[in-house]
Structure 1
Amino acid sequence: MEEVTPTLMADANTPINGNRYPNGAIYNPPNNTDPANAYFVGTGASLYVNPEAGGNGWGYEYVASSKFDGSQINEAYYSTADSNRYISGGMFTNADGSVWYANYRRNAYDTNNQLWNPAYAIKLTFNSTTNSFDRTVTELPLNYEGAIDSVIVDPRIAFGPDGQVGYMVVRGVDADDDEVYPSYKPIVWKTTDGGNNWVKQPRIHYQLLDSLIAYTIPIDGDGDGTSDSLAQGSPQVPFMSQYDMTVDVDGRLHLIGSMLSASDTAAAQFGFVWVGVGTVELFHFIYDGVGSWEANRAGDWYNEDGAVGAAEVDERLQASRSEDGKFIFFTWSKSFYETIEDGNTNDFPDIYGYAYNTENGLTAGPRNFGLQPGTEWTDFEFTDVATVGYFHMLSPIAITGGEGWDLELPIVYGIPRDVTSDLMPIDYYFLRSAGFDYAELGVSGTEEAVSADYFQLQAQPNPATNETLVSFELDNDTRYSLSLLNIMGQQVADIETAQGFAATNQVRLDISSLTPGMYLLRLQAENKVAVAKLMVR
């Protein structure tokens, strides 16, 4: 690890007034190769004395920037209506050099006294004349009609590698939500022209995502204070409590979400959820940019929040991608306990990582970066971050061709000097032992070839005429890719890429349009590949 604890670079004459909750990014001017000439730009909430209305309260916003060498310090304070908000999120430097962040106006009401929380996509453009950043705000539409008030939090924004396709997401509810099962879920806008125009996307339907529902606890339909059994047939209503996001090479949105289970379906109670050990599942959501969602379980978070002073130490979900957008990465913080009797609070956080290959659907992880690669807890071979991975921050862009990994995850984490105090400083370090290799994600033919018997890969009937049922066994819950090849090894059909389970998996295959002859079923899973023959009559 390498210490990276920041020092204060504020101008002595800067009118700081309660500035809090900073959200920052790096801007590198075109053709610049000297780090000292790059800029840090940040934004956050500020106490501000309104010159017209008076008063000194939260809700206004600052944008601050300076060169890395501490020169060219600029601060701007915004007190217009679109600045009456608090914590911004998702600061992202786009391919064209623009810096974006997301926000929303808090606790506003319309003329009908209905709660009105407009969302904002905010663009910062470098001004070479003033050596500062010009700010442009776009209000995004929410549906405020109907019986369900809009409630949104956690704004995020990100763009794909081309700089044109991007998404802004908030977590919450508006009138486009499910009237029967309202719940906190991602509300999404998409741009295809670099942020000039944003279009609200069709809402996600939790109830259509079988893999998500399978990990959702039923509500308390009979009112006895506990979750109903599955046999009672009560609704299962997922609830997203936290998320982060990124965008891949194909313009698809990827979210990592902490998914809980709602305890009621009443519109006024969509914030009530079951809590406790074993109630938080981490899901990888993929949105195709048109209207279709996919959800796959990435891991779990069976801790309860730890603490540093009064600050919560939760799962702290983070998302990233490779520069080319072909690989997606998620990280989170979790403390390991062998048994529940040993405890479950997140007081000794390790940093876990998960990777996804967009081209073949293969995944790697979750991996504990507190352990030396290839070891387990019982080996007692730890890295510097073991049990001290507090408040980690993952870069939105990973390093391709890193020091120790093909795909290195740039992570900074903090070690509190006193976990019981809010006043003692936190020392920050750069983690150099986090990443994944191409072989783990099925790149360049690195999969181990195994026989069809390894997965018990077979088709019934075989030979077949119109359709056949392909079945195979997996040892773990993992992604798989199933394709059909001709006898020359050329792909005829990409049958399915999906989440598999540690059991018998079945896929029904329509072969009615195929020319009679010999074909090959190719299964790719668990870093292995197997082939089985299929005769079509």
Structure 2
Amino acid sequence: MKKVLLVLSVACFVMSVSAQKYAFKNLQYLKSASIHAKADNGLSGPILPLNKPTNVHNKSINSVVIGTSGNAYGFIYEPNYQVDANPELNAIMHVHRAGGPWGGSSGDIRCKISYDLGNTWNDSVVFPVQNGNHYYRYPNGIIYNPAGNTTPANAFALINGPITDGSGWNFMYFDSKHLDGTNPVINHPSPLFTNALERINLSGGNGKYYTMTLEDDGTWYIDAKVRQINFDQQANGFTPNPNVSTLTRNWLMRAFGNDTVQFNSNWYNIFDNDGLHGYAYCMGAEADFDPYNLTATPLVWETWDGGQTWAQYYASGCWHTLSNLTDQIWPTRQSLIDYPNNPEMWQYRPFFEGGSTVDENFSPAVIDYQGHIHILTTITGRYSNHPDSLYYSYANEPTFLFDVYQTGQTDANGQPAWDVQFVDTLRTEVMQDANSPFTDGSDPIGWGHMLNIATSPDRKIVVAVWADTDPTFDTVNTMPELKARAFNYETMTATPVINFTPGEGGMYFFGNVSHYVLKDGNDLIIPLVYVDVYATSNPVSPQQYYFAQDLRITPAMFTETITASTISGNCISLGVNETSLNNNFSVSQNNPNPAKNNTEITVKLTENSNVSVVITNLMGQRVMEINKGMLTSGKHSISINTSNLSSGIYFYTVTANNNSVTKKMVIE
């Protein structure tokens, strides 16, 4: 239907384009900067009026106040992870700064916990100000439940974030307590870098959790650091690993005004519940691999050993071949002019908008039951294929929301293959900072569509959650209503878009959702905490935190069938189909992948080497070993007999002398 409409209206929009001020979110947000220092110094100013809409209907859901804080700044930073759900304990935990009507210092951290799907809450876990002037800020929080434990008091709350004394950022905190509030373990090392605060997400499992920070060169972010936080049996709590992983690329550099931009933004990391397998990624562009280096796409790293080693994947050259994507985004203007009545000839240049001027959302992710990453992000089509025009967009193209995921197969470039599922069209514009009425008079705070993504406890269902305004109320997202859409990737079924609060003129701002949804019988319950900016109109004022009760998805809602993309056209060759390490040797992706009875890899050696191949499962257990002995320099094919392996995900590690490369393969 979309392509038919485009044919009919091509004359109406081919000239309706705009040159965005670059494709990324306001450029100063990519630069090195302190984070809301004014909130910690207690600055304020005249309050601008914020009028609550009068067309608010009766609420469709119940919400309960579960806590307060001295201001909003600890909650509104999207990459923080502040709501966690633990399916084994049926527990939900919300981590927030204290203060406000419910008391406590705004430098304290409180963990509100529920064991009955959010109906009742306790306040047993409190982390008070340390040493008189070490104030907690910007918290992440997660529940660690030891293997086999069914007693909540024996589980742990782990929190992390930065500490300030009011004059600067002095320490990081990696603190833990039992869920009954006992056995505090306090760890406050110095930050890795000035203003580079380890507060991007918190994920993992099995006593191993991970957070991220960004390093800058004084102006632009140049790499990410991933740190592991380990459960310490002796301390009966958590301690941070002093060693970190550094992730960087040969970033595209391009002059813009008086700046030279390094193209990376919207960093995030997500780890599996085994505590070893995980991903890190950003939206960005590399200097290599023209022409996809001039458009923002996901750039991904993957680890299977807790960050000791990482596989770096190059930008995919196949996005424009995916029918699930091209059925939605707009094609290039020239192809519309050349072939106005022949959609099969249209060309596409997808642009991943997460964090751009179009939509101020970051792009969160989860890992599904097959170990594949799912990223919730927005994508639009570029106006032109020309390198000088890739940052021109159609002025009236809608912003499309997608679940973007790896399939477990490989593409024509030997890189992990991707696909997408269309989630919804975002119907309103973001609230830009400059236009926001949520302000103390000098520092207005805008908001996007509050993207969140979660999985069912068995990780077969992926749930996208966001908030958008009914366009009959406003064209800007001033009255966000809570929405969700769920995808079952085992049965390939989906729900339609679910609006939990239709027609309300909603007040659901800065929603934060856990990585997991919980189960109530066969139903899924989405744990979500939000604030109502209309309650105070001022981010420096005390805030109330609301838990949205009974956001329920039932099995009967899965009425739609989803399919994998049909591949149309050829991938753009990036000239990459091997993973190299220090130029000593390279290892190809196994072929075929997925494999049934046999698969093959190619190893290219630059010197004579003793070569071995070890196959492990998702638990890290060794299931096969192939010792090839001493091989001469050059290219060698190694056959792997997979007939005795059960279906699932495996990893093969090729070692040549003292160097190793690990890659993933799928057995059907």
Task: Bin the TM-score by the shorter chain.
Answer: 0.5 to 0.7
Structure 2 CA distance for partners of 1:280 and 1:326, relative to 1, 3 Å: same
Q: How far apart are 1:124 and its partner, in Å?
A: 0.6
CA distance in 1: counterparts of 2:148 and 2:450, whole angstroms: 35
Aligned mate of 1:2, from 44, 60, 64: 64
Q: Counterpart of 1:330?
A: 464
**1:138-287 aligned within 5 A:** 138-144=244-250, 150-160=262-272, 164-176=276-288, 178-179=290-291, 182-205=294-317, 206-217=319-330, 236-241=349-354, 242-262=362-382, 279-287=398-406
Cα RMSD over matched residues?
3.8
Quick one: which amino acid aligns to residue 325 of structure 1? Answer: R
SS class of match (1:211) = helix
Query: Structure 1: which amino acid aligns with 2:64?
Result: E
Cα pair distance change 1:164/1:361, threshold 3 Å = farther
CA-to-aligned-CA distance 1:301-355 (integer Å, 9 cap, x gap): 12122343322221111111112111111100111133xxx42121111111111
Assess, with a 3 A threshold, how the Cα gap between structure 1 residues 79 and 284 changes in structure 2: closer, same or farther.
closer
2:320 alignment partner AA? Q
Equivalent of 1:107 in 210, 217, 240: 217
CA contact (8 A) 1:3 1:428 kept: yes
1:117 alignment partner in structure 2: 222
Output the CA distance in 1 between the equivalents of 2:181 and 2:527.
23
Q: How does 1:72-111 map to 2 (within 5 A)?
A: 72=184, 74-80=186-192, 85-86=196-197, 88-94=199-205, 96-107=206-217
Any unmatched runs of 5+ in structure 1?
50-55, 110-114, 222-226, 372-376, 443-477, 482-496, 501-537
Question: In structure 2, do the counterparts of structure 1 residues 57 and 174 end up closer, same or farther at CA, with 3 Å as the change threshold?
Answer: farther
Partner of 1:23: 140
The residue number in structure 2 matching 1:462 is: none
Aligned residues of 2:208 and 2:275 also touching (Cα < 8 A): no
Distance 1:437 1:246 in 2: 21
- C-alpha distance in structure 1 between counterparts of 2:328 and 2:562, whole Å: 20
What is residue 445 of structure 2 aligned with on the other side?
A: 311
Question: CA 1:393–1:201 in 2, change beyond 3 Å: closer, same or farther?
Answer: same
- Against the structure 1 CA distance between its residues 263 and 88, is the aligned structure 2 distance closer, same or farther, given a 3 Å change threshold? farther
Is 2:141–2:157's contact at 8 Å kept on the other side of the alignment?
A: yes
Q: Deviations over 1:505-537 (max 9, x none)?
A: xxxxxxxxxxxxxxxxxxxxxxxxxxxxxxxxx
- Is the CA contact (8 Å cut-off) linking 1:260 and 1:274 kept in structure 2? no
* Greater shift in the superposed pair: 3-12 or 229-238: 229-238
Q: Secondary structure at the match of 2:535?
A: coil
How many residues align? The count is 415
The separation in 1 between residues aligned to 2:159 and 2:469, in whole angstroms, is 31
The Cα of 1:357 is off from its aligned counterpart by 0.7
Alpha carbons 2:456, 2:516 under 8 Å: kept: yes
**Residues in 1 aligned to 2:64 and 2:366: alpha-carbon distance in whole angstroms:** 27
Map of 1:127 onto structure 2: 232
TM (normalized to structure 2)? 0.54
What do the CA deviations read for 1:58-96 (whole angstroms, capped 9, x no partner)? 697443444445551624132345x762463231132x1
Contact 1:246 1:253 in 2 (8 A): yes
Q: Which has the higher contact order (CA 8 A, sep 6+)?
A: 2
> Could you tell me which amino acid in structure 2 is paired with residue 182 of structure 1?
L
CA shift, 1:176, in A, is 4.6
Distance across 2 between alignment mates of 1:480 and 1:274: 28
* 8 Å CA contact retained: 1:320, 1:398: yes
Displacement, 1:190?
Answer: 1.6
**Partner Cα distance (1:361, 1:234) in 2:** 28
Alpha-carbon distance in structure 2 between the residues aligned to 1:229 and 1:70: 68
TM-score normalized with structure 1 length: 0.66
Shift of 1:143: 2.9
Q: Secondary structure at the match of 1:439?
A: helix
Deviation at 1:203, TM superposition (A): 1.9
Q: Please give the alpha-carbon distance, in whole angstroms, between the structure 1 residues aligned to 2:387 and 2:165.
A: 36
Contact 2:204 2:274 in 1 (8 A): no
For residues 35-74 of structure 1, what are the structure 2 equivalents within 5 Å? 35-46=152-163, 61-71=172-182, 72=184, 74=186
Following superposition, the deviation at residue 157 of structure 1 comes to: 2.3
Match of 2:497?
Answer: 366
Moved more, 316-325 or 191-200: 191-200
Q: C-alpha distance in 1, partners of 2:398/2:170?
A: 34
CA contact (8 A) 1:27 1:93 kept: no
Please tell me whether the aligned partners of residues 102 and 157 of structure 1 are also in contact (alpha carbons under 8 angstroms).
yes
CA–CA separation in structure 2 for the residues paired with 1:57 and 1:173: 33
Deviates more, 1:417-426 or 1:357-366: 417-426
Task: Give me the whole-angstrom Cα distance separating, in 1, the residues matched to 2:470 and 2:175.
Answer: 39
User: Hey, what's the Cα distance between the residues in 2 that align with 1:31 and 1:68?
Assistant: 16
- Tell me if structure 2 keeps the 8 A contact 1:281–1:301: yes
SS of the aligned residue for 1:169 comes to strand
The Cα of 1:108 is off from its aligned counterpart by 5.8
Contact persistence 2:251–2:263 (CA under 8 A) = no
Q: Are the counterparts in 1 of residues 467 and 480 from structure 2 also a CA contact under 8 Å?
A: yes
Change (3 A) 1:79 1:399: closer
Partners of 1:184 and 1:270 within 8 A in 2: no
- Which moves more between the two structures, 116-125 or 189-198? 189-198
3-state SS in 2 of match to 1:21: coil
Q: Which runs of 5+ in 2 are unaligned?
A: 1-62, 69-97, 99-107, 109-125, 255-260, 355-361, 411-415, 568-668
- 1:166-219, CA deviations, whole angstroms, 9 ceiling, x for partnerless residues? 222222223356435522221111223454432112323333334334443467
Deviation at 1:48, TM superposition (A): 8.0
Question: Residues 198 and 157 (structure 1 numbering): CA distance in 2 closer, same or farther, change over 3 Å?
Answer: same
- Cα 1:234–1:362 change in 2 (3 A) is closer
Shift in CA distance, 165/93, structure 1 to aligned 2, threshold 3 Å: closer
SS at match of 1:313: coil
Q: Distance in 2 between matches of 1:228 and 1:24?
A: 52
Contact 1:99 / 1:125 at 8 angstroms: preserved in 2? yes
Q: Distance in 1 between matches of 2:452 and 2:214?
A: 21
Distance 2:386 2:213 in 1: 28
Partners in 2 of 1:359 and 1:15 — Cα distance? 53
Separation in 2, partners of 1:253, 1:3: 33
**2:267 partner amino acid:** P
